[in-house]
Amino acid sequence: MYYLGVDYHKAFSYCTLMDEEGKVVKQGRIENSAEGVQRFVQGADEEVIGVMEATRNWTLMYDWLEEEIEEVKLAHPLKVKAIAEAKIKTDKIDSRTLAHLLRCNLLPESYVPTKGARYIRQVLRQRIFYVRVQTMLKNRIRTIIDKHPELGKAPVEELFGIKGMEWLKGVKLPEIDRNIVDNDIELLKEVKERINKSDELIEELGRDDERVKYLMSVPGIGKFFAVLLCHEIDDINRFRDDRKLHAYAGLVPSTYASGNRVIHGHITKQGNKWIRWAMVEAVWPAIRRDAQLRIFFERLREKKGSNCAKVATAKRLLTIVYRILKEKRSYKVRGCPDNTLAVSL
């Protein structure tokens, strides 16, 4: 059996092919293409297992390797660095180190989602990007309007509603500001159309997925967050318990322990930032709908402040997500601080 270590870069990759005894059979730089991978591994007279790190755009090289060799593993970059950190670092050394770790069964692996899950994640993250662009455009327009106090308060409640947009188009502004606002309004219209198209696809993705229905029963989680969580978490059974999911989302405190001294710091913010973002965003609507979550939040806010309470409640929400996905059941709201927002489940 041969072990292939791939140090992947934007313009090229460096590969090391190693046998079971640790002897380097072949080494060299290849172009980043399916043909480049094929040329490097052709002629190998034994089964080849490959490894690469989970870096930017890793899916491209991973798919090429899958076509040419028997098995491909994905290495966790931070853990590889912790195991095999060296003062001398070159592409040649990095690819050889990866091959050695794979050969010795010491490789810290990362989870590899299916191609279908990867595609859906791209669609969901694209929508997040559009929404952020929409927010930036609205803030730009508000900033320009605020530069002209002589205009007074807008005669509408929703500045970016139908009547608000008519007011923005007709309000008198200096020529430069008028051009900027007009351009931003046109761009805002285009972004809204793209968000609507993304929402149609998300609606289709969640229509027949039971997991989405379960997650939408959790306070603070709507259709988009439900679909996002389903495909970012993927298979819930890969997490042994809820603490593993907390760590995957980066919602656990950093820890320094030496002797009898243990210090806990801020959350690590390592892992899946999309799950972490969704859980934090879901906190405010969640504590309005669920009395026990509200009590939990208020108790921590008095002791540690709003930010710590918000993060802790996000972690509690993620525990709920883990439980209902694991047990395949809906969540039942336990009382409601605001009866007008109560939902019967």
148-185 pLDDT, tens digit each: 988 888 888 899 999 999 999 999 999 999 999 999 99
At 32, give phi and psi (nearest 5°). Answer: -80, 85
Give yes or no for residue 295 having a pLDDT over 80: yes
Task: Check residue 225 and give its pLDDT.
Answer: 95
The larger pLDDT score, comparing residue 221 to residue 87, is at: 221
User: Regarding predicted confidence, which is higher, 258 or 139?
Assistant: 139
Cα–Cα–Cα angle for 26, 30, 83, rounded to 5 degrees: 65
Residue 338 scores a pLDDT above 60:
no
Identify the band that residue 271 occupies on the pLDDT scale cut at 50, 70 and 90: confident
Output the pLDDT for position 139: 96
Q: How far apart are CA 176 and CA 306, in angstroms?
A: 41
pLDDT tens digits along 219-228: 999 999 999 9
